Amino acid sequence: MPTPTAQDHRLVMLEAVLAAADIGMLVLDSARRIVLWNRWMARYSGRTATEVLGRELHAVFPELDNRRIDAAIAQALRGFPSVLSQTLHKAPFPLVAQAGGPRMQQAVAVTPVALPGGERHCLIQITDVSAAVNRERLLRVQALELRSQTFSDGLTGIANRRHFDVAVEKEVRRAKRAGTPLTLLMIDIDHFKAYNDHYGHQQGDETLVRVAAALASLLQRPTDLLARYGGEEFSVILPEMDEPQALAMAEALRRRVRALDIPHGHTGPAGEPFVTISIGMAMLDTAGVASVAALIGAADRALYDAKRCGRNRVMSAPHG
C-alpha cells in the first residue's frame, strides 16, 4: 500500500475542515456548474453533494431568481469579490433550518477563485444570520416599547408630561418659523380632590381614564396632542388652529366630559353634581416673546380664571 503523502494529508484535512465549517460553501466553475458543495449546504438545502455536483446553479435552485446574485457571480468570475446587502437580500437561497420552517436569514459573500491554468471559479459563502436578525428585531421591539413607556402615561395611555415637554418645544419652534397659529389648552378636572376623598383613589383613577378617553376622542388630527400634565390636569396642543376654531374645540371638549354624566356629589352648592372640567386657552404670541414658558403661563392663568369664575367653563387668555 502506498504511503500517504503530505499532499494527501492536506486534502484529507481540507475535506474535514469543509465538512466541519459552520458556514455554507459552494464553488462554481466558469459555466456556473457546482464543483464543490460542503456538508453545511447539504444539511440546510436538503440536497446532497452527489445530487448537485456538475449541475448548473439555477438547475439546482430554479427558484433562485435574484439578479444581484447573478451579477455578483459574474463579477467574481471576472476577478472581483462582492458582498450582498443583508438588508436588501435577506434570504436569497432556499435554505431552511427546519423542515417546513421559514427561509433562513442569510449573509452572502461571493469571492473569485483562481486555479492554476487560469480557469476562474467563484466561491459563494452563506452564513446563517437568523439569530442575529431575530435579536435585532427583538431589540427594535423592545426599544419601541421602551419609547412608548417613556412617552406614555401609565394610567391613561395618553402622552405623559415628558412627551408634552418635547412636543410643545417643537411646536413652538415650528409655529415661530412658519408664522402659523398655535393654541395650548390647560385642562383641570373640577373638585377632583373632593372626588378622590369621597369615592376613593381607585374610582378616581377610573374617572381619569374615562376623561382622558373622552378628550382623546375629539382630537382627530395627527398633529394634535393630548397629554396628562400631572395629577388631574391635562394639556392639549393644537397646531395651525386659529382662535375661533380652538375655542370651539375647547368648548367641545368641555361638553364631552360633562356628557359622561359621571356622578360627583361633592362639587359644592354652586357646582353640578357631575364631573366637569375647566379649561384655560392661550394662543402663541408670535409678535411678542413667543416662548414655551410664556404660552404655558398664559394658559395657566386662563385656567385659574375659569376656576375663579365658577368652573366648568373655558376662559381664553388676553392677547398681548
Q: Mind telling me the catalytic residues?
A: 232
Assigned C-alpha cell, 300: 395657566
Is residue 27 within 8 Å of 36, Cβ to Cβ?
yes
Is residue 276 within 8 Å of 258, Cβ to Cβ?
yes
CA angle, corner 169, sides to 166 and 174, nearest 5?
125
> How many CA atoms lie within 13 Å of 307's alpha carbon, on the beta-carbon side?
14
| Beta pairing partners, 226 | 236
- How far, in Å, CA of 276 to CA of 267, rounded? 9
Nearest CA to 243 out of 189, 198, 180 is that of 180
Assigned C-alpha cell, 211: 376623561
Assigned C-alpha cell, 277: 372640567
> How many CA atoms lie within 13 Å of 138's alpha carbon, on the beta-carbon side?
6
Nearest CA to 47 out of 23, 287, 57, 81 is that of 57
Residue reference for cell 427546519: 98
Nearest CA to 124 out of 222, 23, 1, 11 is that of 23
Strands (E), the chain: 24-28, 34-37, 82-83, 106-114, 120-128, 182-189, 225-230, 233-239, 277-283, 314-316
Residue 152: DSSP 8-state: B
Greatest Cα-to-Cα distance within the chain, rounded to the nearest angstrom: 114
